[in-house]
Amino acid sequence: GDSVTQMEGPVTLSEEAFLTINCTYTATGYPSLFWYVQYPGEGLQLLLKATKADDKGSNKGFEATYRKETTSFHLEKGSVQVSDSAVYFCALSPPFTNFGNEKLTFGTGTRLTIIP
Amino acid sequence: DAGITQSPRHKVTETGTPVTLRCHQTENHRYMYWYRQDPGHGLRLIHYSYGVKDTDKGEVSDGYSVSRSKTEDFLLTLESATSSQTSVYFCAISEHRLRSAHFGGYTFGSGTRLTVV
């Protein structure tokens, strides 16, 4: 079945450092790929997405590129801030082949802490 | 975002008692989901619904049941709560893919923290 493997955490960085959180997936065909962010005490929020190979999703300074050849969707940010401290989840949705086949498969999450 | 609300936000209950968690949406989305979040496991799907009275099991459905009698409400019931069901429960909603060119992902509620003692 489909699966998502995320970089183990926790990750601690200094403010303005470069961030990479690795995500690889196993799925048939061309799934859609997502990054969600969860701030303390809140639900998950969609951060960015990509729906086909070589697409780049971006939002709030974060970027991720859909790499079919390496089955990866790594999250990057050039200069992190204290406010980026959160848990980040990588997820995939299967290709649209069936009516109602909309379920997301999530990775286990990576906790990021940014220190001033 | 007021589009999806969960109640209660926190609950402590005793082992063996029934518990019902409610998810309410104002977005008229077809799909609704219940997940549980536990350390080291990420999010795991309990049950989901693809329409009124249409539900199906997820990967961790044992000990849980759901009902959806109206588009806007999706109830999760623990028939007889156990300590292993202590968790944070999230509801999510999504649009049907045919309504948009690509699946846009989920909108999540703020979660219910359930403690079974």
Radius of gyration of chain B (CA): 14
Question: CB-CB: which of A42, A51, A104 is closest to B106?
Answer: A104
Q: Closest by alpha carbon to B6, among B62, B54, B106, B74? A: B74
Residue A99: pLDDT band (50, 70, 90) is low
Largest distance between two CA atoms of chain A = 48
- Say which of B48, B104, B110 has its CB closest to residue A103: B48
Going by pLDDT thresholds of 50, 70 and 90, the confidence category of residue A104 is: confident
Over residues A7-12, mean pLDDT: 88
Contact A43 B109 (CB under 8 A): yes
Model confidence at B75: pLDDT above 80: yes
pLDDT at B4: 95
CB contact under 8 A, A34 and B105: yes
User: Are residues A25 and A71 in contact, defined by beta-carbon separation less than 8 angstroms?
Assistant: yes
Mean per-residue pLDDT, A71-78: 97
Question: Which residue in the set A49, A100, A107 is minimally distant from B42, CB to CB?
Answer: A107
pLDDT value for B41 = 85
pLDDT exceeds cutoff 90 at A18: yes
The string of DSSP codes covering B3-21 is TEEEE-SEEEE-TT--EEE
The per-residue pLDDT for range A26-48, each reduced to its tens digit, is 998 888 899 999 998 889 999 99
What percent of chain B has pLDDT above 90? 79
Is residue A98 pLDDT above 80, yes or no? no
Tell me which chain A residues have a C-beta less than 8 angstroms from the C-beta of B90.
43-44
Comparing A101 with A52, which gets the higher pLDDT?
A52
Share of chain A above pLDDT 90, in %: 74
Whole-angstrom distance, CA of residue A45 vs CA of residue A60: 13
Q: Which residues contact A80 (CB under 8 A, 6 or more apart)?
A: A13, A15, A16, A17, A18, A19, A112, A114
Q: What residues of chain B lie within 8 A of the CB of A91, using their CB?
A: 105
Query: Is residue A97's pLDDT more than 90?
Result: no
Would you state the pLDDT for residue A52?
Answer: 87
DSSP state of A83: G
* Cβ–Cβ gap A104/B105 under 8 Å: yes
The minimum CA-CA distance between A61 and chain B, rounded to whole Å, is 20
Q: Between the CA of residue B41 and those of A6, A26, A113, B47, what are the distances in Å? A: 11, 17, 20, 17
Say if residue B102's pLDDT is above 70: no
Q: Phi-psi category of A38—alpha, beta or left, where left has phi over 0 and alpha has psi -120 to 50? A: beta
A3 touches chain B (CB under 8 A): no
Of A43, A100, A106, the CB nearest to B111: A43
Question: Which pLDDT score is estimated for A54?
Answer: 94
Please determine, for residue B25, whether its predicted confidence score (pLDDT) is greater than 90: yes
Cβ of B110 within 8 Å of Cβ of A42? The answer is yes
B19 touches chain A (CB under 8 A): no
DSSP letter assigned to residue B30: S
Greater model confidence, B22 or A32:
B22
User: CB distance from B40 to chain A under 8 Å?
Assistant: yes
